[in-house]
Structure 1
Amino acid sequence: MKKKVYAARLGVTALALTLVTTCLMGSTLARYVTEVTGSASATVAKWSFKASEAEGSTNFTDIDLGRTAYDSSTIKADVIAPGTSGSFDIVIDGTGSEVGIDYEIELKAAADTTFPDDMVFSTEAITGDNSGKKFIEFIAVPVKNSIDYSDNLNAMKKTVTIYWAWAFDENDTKDNNDNDYAGKNWKIDITVTGKQAAPKPTPASAS
C-alpha cells in the first residue's frame, strides 16, 4: 500500500516539475512582435520632344532660304542669288517633358546639292565681326545645347536661328563666277535629336 502512495506522490511531483519547466521555458520565448507593412512608389517622368521650322508648325518641309524680301526690281521674290542673305529658324519644343533635354541639330546637303564657296552659314548674325563659315565647315560640328527642366509656360522652348549669306563680288568675270549654280534647287536635310539630360544629384548639405 505504501509503495502505491509513494508511486502516486512521485507521479504528482514529476507532473509538477514538468509544468514548472514548461512555464519557465515558455517565459524565455515571450516577446512583443509588431509587423508593419508599406510600399514604395515612383512616378516615371514624362518625355516630350518636338522640332519644327516655326511656332505651330510640325515639320521642316516648308523652310525656304528665299523668303527674305529684296527689291523686286533687282531680284524675283522667293529666290536667292549672289548678294542675298537671310535666315531660318528651328524651333525645339520640350513642353510637357518632366526631364531636361540635350538636343543636337545636324545639317547635311542633300544629294546633288553643292553650295558656292562664297556662301556662308552661322548660328549668329553674319556681320563684319562674324564672317560665317562655308557650309562644309559649318556642318562639321553639330549644333548642340541643352534645355533645363522647368514647369513654367514656354520655358522648355528654344529657337535656333541659322543665318546664311551669299557674297556679291563686283569683280567676278566670265571665268570666275557663280553661273554654275543658276537655276539649281538646293536642299538641306535637317535632323534634330533630343535626349534626356543626365540627372544631377542634389549637392550634400553642409554639416
Structure 2
Amino acid sequence: MKKKVYAARLGVTALALTLVTTCLMGSTLARYVTEVTGSATATVAKWSFTASDAEGSANFTNIDLGRTAYTDTTIADKVIAPGTSGSFNIAIDGSGSDVGIDYEINLKAADSITFPDDMVFSTEAITEGKPGKKLADLDPITGTINVSGNMKETVTVYWAWDFGKDDTAAANDNNYAGEKWEIDITVTGKQTTPTATPASAS
C-alpha cells in the first residue's frame, strides 16, 4: 500500500516538475518589442514664369521699333526707314520658382507681313563682322535661368535696316513705305532637367 502512495507521490512530483520546466522554457521566448511609426515628407517645388517688355507689358505692346530709331532732322519721330537701327528688350522673370528654367524666344513676322531682305536681327550688336539675320532665318533665342541667381534675365534684340546706297528704282524699299509691321513674339519657359545628385539615404 505504501508503495502505491509513493508511486502516486512520485507521479505528482514528476508532473509538477514538468509543468514548472515548461513554464520556465516558455518564459525564455519572451522579448522586447517596439514598433515605431511615422511618415516621409516632400515639398513640391514652386513654379512661376512671366515674360514682358521693358515696361512690364505681358503682351509686349510697348515694343515699338520706331521708339529706338533716330529722332532728329533726318527722320520723323517714332518711325523707321532704311538706314535706321535700334533694339528692344524682353524681360524674363522666374521669381518664386524653386527650379531652373529653360526659356525660348521666337520672333517671326505676323501673318501677311513681309520684311525687307536687308533688315536683320540679332542678340548681339549688329556690325560688319556680326551682320545678323533676316527675321525669317533668325534662330530661336534660348537660355537658362538657374535657381542660384535672382531668377531674372533681360534679353536684348538688336535690329538694323541697311541703307542700300546703290539701290535702283527697280530694287529699293519703296514698296514698304507707309506700312505698319508687326512681329509675333512667343516666349516659352520650361523646367530645367534636374542634374543634382540625389542625397544618400541616412
Same-fold status (TM-score > 0.5): yes
Structure 2 counterpart of 1:199: 194
Q: Distance in 1 between matches of 2:35 and 2:108?
A: 64
Structure 1 counterpart of 2:14: 13
Structure 1 counterpart of 2:161: 166
Contact 2:69 2:80 in 1 (8 A): no
Structure 2 counterpart of 1:62: 62
TM-score normalized by the length of structure 1: 0.86
Q: Deviations over 1:125-163 (max 9, x none)?
A: 11122111111111xx2111101103x6xx211110111
Q: Distance in 2 between matches of 1:160 and 1:81?
A: 24
Q: Distance in 1 between matches of 2:55 and 2:96?
A: 16
Structure 2 counterpart of 1:120: 120
Q: CA 1:69 to 1:186, structure 2 compared with 1: closer, same or farther past 3 Å?
A: closer
RMSD between superposed Cα atoms in Å? 2.1
Q: Distance in 1 between matches of 2:43 and 2:86?
A: 45
Task: Please report how far the alpha carbon of residue 12 of structure 1 lies from its aligned counterpart in structure 2 after TM superposition.
Answer: 4.1
Q: Distance in 2 between matches of 1:195 and 1:106?
A: 14
Structure 2 counterpart of 1:74: 74
Task: Please report how far the alpha carbon of residue 16 of structure 1 lies from its aligned counterpart in structure 2 after TM superposition.
Answer: 2.6
Give aligned-pair identity as a percent: 62
Unaligned runs of 5+ in 1: none
- My pick for the range that moved more, 90-99 or 169-178, is 169-178
TM-score normalized by the length of structure 2: 0.88
Q: CA 1:95 to 1:55, structure 2 compared with 1: closer, same or farther past 3 Å?
A: farther
SS at match of 2:112: coil
Task: Please report how far the alpha carbon of residue 4 of structure 1 lies from its aligned counterpart in structure 2 after TM superposition.
Answer: 5.9
Describe how 1:1-207 pairs up with structure 2 within 5 A.
Answer: 2=2, 3=4, 6-7=7-8, 9-27=10-28, 29-138=29-138, 141-150=139-148, 155-202=150-197
Unaligned runs of 5+ in 2: none
